[in-house]
Amino acid sequence: MSQIRAENLSKFYPVALKEPGFVGTIRHFFKRKYRQVEAVRDVSFQIAPGEVVGFLGPNGAGKTTTLKLLSGLIYPSVGRVEVAGHQPFKREYAFLRKITLVMGNKQQLIWDLPAADSFRVNAAVYEIPEPEFKKRVAELSEMLSLEGKLNQPVRKLSLGERMKAELLAALLHRPQVLFLDEPTLGLDVNAQVAVREFLRAYNQRYQATILLTSHYMADITALCERVLMIHRGGLIYDGGLEGLLKRFAPYREVRLQLGQPIARARLEQFGEVRAWEGLEARLLLRREDLVPLVGRMLQELPIDDLEVREPAIEEVIGQVFANSSLMAEG
């Protein structure tokens, strides 16, 4: 059973074209020409109830458009989408009670009023009885460490506290499906960790389904076992983080602690030297060559210590989006 299902989902936008100069302006006014932009192209995936899935892609890849399609803010041009048993674009009341969309660069709280006042507005919209409203606010504020902050004007809260209050407002109706678009955007490290811990606890307590986009890979690695990767509107990967490394990182990272200085050229005989300073070096070796090359290193180089590890996930993601040949394979 799927909580979220997208089948051949596409969204196209007509964009007006205009030639430069006065003549171009006149032609644009009387006989406008358009080109079609594919924001999302033939995307299909399923997400099970209670699953936390990361949604990765560079700026302009189609992540936010996909979230808007799934939450019913815009209609799909082609394809079918179902969320919590509903077609989102119909925006039925029963559907809206089951989902929430949080965007890190948008806010719903009223700037000059205490967050508690905005919560009461949401409670009225979702018809939450007063006793249940108080119980939920108390529970969520404790989980988010917001006790004593909710009666201050929102403008006087720190950025981290405002983001936590935004999450509280968005989750007051206890949705089954959370669409989170950069929820830790701009937050300091401590605030990011607090938001991640809250989302993990909320998922475990209520078995909520979460689709999370973030440019902070720590968000993804901390919360998600599965990731979807989108590029130029198309889905290029759907699987685990470990599988992402195996597919898009055909190498391993070898860190060396040398016993004495050596020439860089000696290291370059074994692999790509990514860092070299003093007696420490970092090389990239292809997976299929790893065992024989490490054996040679130990025999031929003055090594005090050697460590083999997977490359950092941030490095892998950056390589994927920078390498057009990898995109073609996806």
Q: Are 10 and 43 within 8 A, CB to CB?
A: yes
Instruction: Record the tokens describing residue 253, joined without a space.
Output: 């990272």
Residues 151, 88: Cα–Cα separation, whole Å: 34
Q: Phi/psi of residue 92, each to 5°?
A: -70, 150
Instruction: Measure CA of the first residue to CA of the last residue in the chain; give whole Å.
Output: 27
Per the CATH hierarchy, to which homologous superfamily does domain 250-309 belong? YebC, transcriptional regulation domain (3.30.70.980)
The 3-state DSSP class for residue 81 equals strand
CA-CA distance, 110 to 160, in Å (whole number)? 16
If 0-12 CB within 10 Å is exposed, 13-18 middle and 19+ buried, where does residue 34 land?
Answer: exposed
Residue-by-residue pLDDT tens, the chain, 330 positions: 899 999 999 999 988 888 888 888 888 788 888 888 899 999 999 999 999 999 998 888 899 999 999 999 999 999 999 999 999 999 999 999 999 999 877 888 989 999 999 999 999 999 999 999 999 999 999 999 898 889 999 999 988 899 999 999 999 999 999 999 988 888 888 888 999 999 999 999 999 999 999 888 888 889 999 999 998 899 999 999 878 877 777 788 899 999 998 888 999 999 888 888 889 998 988 888 889 999 999 999 999 999 988 777 777 777 677 664 444 444
Domain residue extents for the chain? 4-10+40-245, 250-309
At 122, list the tokens: 């949401």
Count Cα neighbours of 73 within 13 Å in the Cβ-side half-sphere. 12
Measured between alpha carbons, how far is 56 from 239 in angstroms, rounded to an integer? Answer: 12
CATH 3.40.50.300 fits 4-10+40-245, yes or no: yes
pLDDT at 329: 46
Q: Give the C-alpha separation, 26 to 22, whole Å.
A: 6
